Chains A and B, each alone.
Chain A
């Protein structure tokens, strides 16, 4: 297991990787317009960069059909205000964002398909983790990385395995995944991601005050978090989605060979090809047998 390298950087310097949900299907139905959401987020990102001059911000766009790096504060030398007008962050980010959203919509038109409304969270999470590994490799002096998911679209069950893999990798390298979910229902994926990696999951009640939620909960560095009363989890949805219909279930059957989950009894495992003979058993028969033996 690869452990995170020792962190010798000042503990209040952060690298914030923001995963921005740009899914047009969600934003066309959302009560909060995308432009308003963006103005909250831009103000928040600027405040992160102002909090400490060594802080770094990376923004990755999570679209419906693609993901892309939109902004990296360390790759441009930040001059702050240009001619007293918009800061560099806004212009660069907005320009890349616009290109990205147009390209994303293009690919939707090429391949129109109803049904799924989810965005590609697994892709942007994987990209964020690769970027963070690069920061770890850069030497013993590096900012403390964390990931913030600004997500609104519902979960895509077909991404379950990929997202779980990313979560465990983040847990191994001790990178917390924070999530701010602005959709209507809670996101089980993000709840699990934040719970397993020790991040904060928040579902803001009032969208008008999004900036306040962001700046009070997600702006502080990891060290200072220990002194804060951050929102506690209101329960985590640990239900699994079955492999056969991608339904979320709370009780089901598990293949003893490969641990695939099914919502009803099958004759053959679709993942590993094992043929199940008998009626399903419950695992507790083991312990019943065990109890009979004298100890």
Chain B
């Protein structure tokens, strides 16, 4: 038995030796500390004792900082967002996109995340349109026209997954410039370039093309997959876009999804206008009608144009008969939380909590979770500056990131009816 144990110990020692070679000579005990960094999860309290850091509180503090910086931005300028966007995504499918530093390859990673991005984009920008362009063999290929259906873009992209040759930034920009120049003045013109290569193989002077984009008010943004390149930075600076380089796959995803919410409108980049639109009603599930888009009889679930009463199958679209833009009000309503942002809640200070004149609520107004500490003293909480109700930290995050309503303000009828006219 003793022998057996020795054997096992020896075996482990051997293994460790092998690992040591791979890990640059760290001993096993050193490695566990190097990996876990367990000392970072400790902090010293007032009396000098070591305590584990309350991660939740830190996370919440970070979240509140972010919220405050966002709201200060929103209050300095009137909220004007480019909600009607015309975005071309230029994807680099040159030789450089076959590199394996992203797994399985840059091309596969880019395609996967562009698919997710397209869906998220239409979720957040209901009236906007996307077009896809690829760069390979020194030329730019037009993949899909500007359109509002995520499925058609994803299908076109997945059918064309191959890379070869060089990338040409100039050719890509020239092609997109030609298309974006035609869109109406109230639309925001944007280009998002996903660039794998470290070079650009151009037929002429790219600086001229950059200036052309600038005069056409096309906002160009680049996400690089390799390293920062001067021409990309120059392009983004000139046209008011953002330039970032991805460190790894999750970072790339994060950078890409940052482009989904509407950007703040740049002054005079688009002419405001009123657009005439129809809000059709959805017909009963059992009704039968001939739709104007496929010209065949269909049972149930169509929409009727309010102007000419023609039947269409899908929204948003434009009526085939009278040309009215048809949209459902939920499509528009998805973006309203950008317009009526909910003000950040204030942290309730200890002074207020221990003031005997104030009666502090014992439960969170939103979810009824107890707000008391185990010792029956009032715990950490936030309160809405408008309705003065108290909320727990989890509700605070949910209310600001997903719900966009304050349950407290919504639950009491205010003296003035004009809630959203301010």
Q: Is the CB of A195 within 8 A of B282?
A: yes
Q: Interface residues of B toward A: which range?
A: 35 or more
Interface residues contributed by chain A, number (CB under 8 Å): 90
- Contacts A235-B281, A235-B283, A239-B281 given; indicate if A158 touches B419 (C-beta within 8 A): yes
Tell me if B1 counts as interface (CB < 8 A to partner A): no
Chain B residue with the shortest CB-CB distance to A274? B272
Q: Is the CB of B282 within 8 A of A235?
A: yes
Q: Is the CB of B368 within 8 A of A69?
A: yes
What separation, in Å, do the CA atoms of A196 and B273 have in the docked complex?
A: 30
What separation, in Å, do the CA atoms of A139 and B78 have in the docked complex?
A: 41
CB distance from B276 to the nearest CB of A (A): 5
Q: Is the CB of B420 within 8 A of A284?
A: no
> What chain B residues lie within 8 Å of A196 (beta carbons)?
330
Q: Is the CB of A276 within 8 A of B274?
A: yes
Q: Is the CB of A250 within 8 A of B281?
A: yes
> What chain A residues lie within 8 Å of B405 (beta carbons)?
122, 126, 162, 165-166
Chain B residue with the shortest CB-CB distance to A126? B407
Q: Scan residues 246-295 of chain A and give those whose CB is less than 8 A from a CB of chain B.
A: 249-262, 265-266, 269-278, 280-287, 289-290, 293, 295
Chain B residue with the shortest CB-CB distance to A268? B272
Chain A residue with the shortest CB-CB distance to B408? A123
CB distance from A53 to the nearest CB of B (A): 22
Tell me if A64 counts as interface (CB < 8 A to partner B): yes
Q: Is the CB of A280 within 8 A of B276?
A: yes
Tell me if A137 counts as interface (CB < 8 A to partner B): yes
What separation, in Å, do the CA atoms of A192 and B279 have in the docked complex?
A: 13
Tell me if A2 counts as interface (CB < 8 A to partner B): yes
Q: Scan residues 134-164 of chain A and give those whose CB is less than 8 A from a CB of chain B.
A: 134, 137, 158-162, 164
CB distance from B195 to the nearest CB of A (A): 26
CB distance from A185 to the nearest CB of B (A): 14
Kindly supply a per-residue 1/0 record for chain A positions 237-248, scoring 1 wherever the CB is within 8 Å of any chain B CB and 0 otherwise: 111110100000
Q: Scan residues 320-372 of chain B and give those whose CB is less than 8 A from a CB of chain A.
A: 323-325, 327-330, 332-340, 364-369
What separation, in Å, do the CA atoms of A271 and B334 have in the docked complex?
A: 16
> What chain B residues lie within 8 Å of A166 (beta carbons)?
403, 405
Tell me if B12 counts as interface (CB < 8 A to partner A): no
Selected from B80, B184, B336, the residue in CB contact (under 8 A) with A281 is: B184
Tell me if A73 counts as interface (CB < 8 A to partner B): no
Q: Is the CB of B366 within 8 A of A158?
A: no
> What chain B residues lie within 8 Å of A251 (beta carbons)?
276-279, 306-307, 324
Q: Which of B32-40, B154-162, B248-256, B410-418 contacts A (4 or more CB under 8 A)?
A: B410-418
22 contacts between A and B (CB under 8 A): A2-B401, A66-B411, A115-B417, A130-B367, A134-B394, A165-B333, A165-B336, A173-B402, A238-B328, A238-B330, A250-B280, A251-B278, A254-B276, A254-B327, A257-B186, A257-B265, A258-B83, A274-B80, A275-B272, A280-B275, A286-B184, A289-B182
**Contacts A172-B402, A273-B78 given; 18 further ones with Cβ under 8 A?**
A66-B411, A126-B366, A127-B407, A130-B366, A130-B395, A133-B395, A162-B410, A232-B286, A236-B282, A238-B280, A240-B329, A240-B332, A253-B276, A254-B277, A256-B270, A259-B339, A265-B274, A285-B184
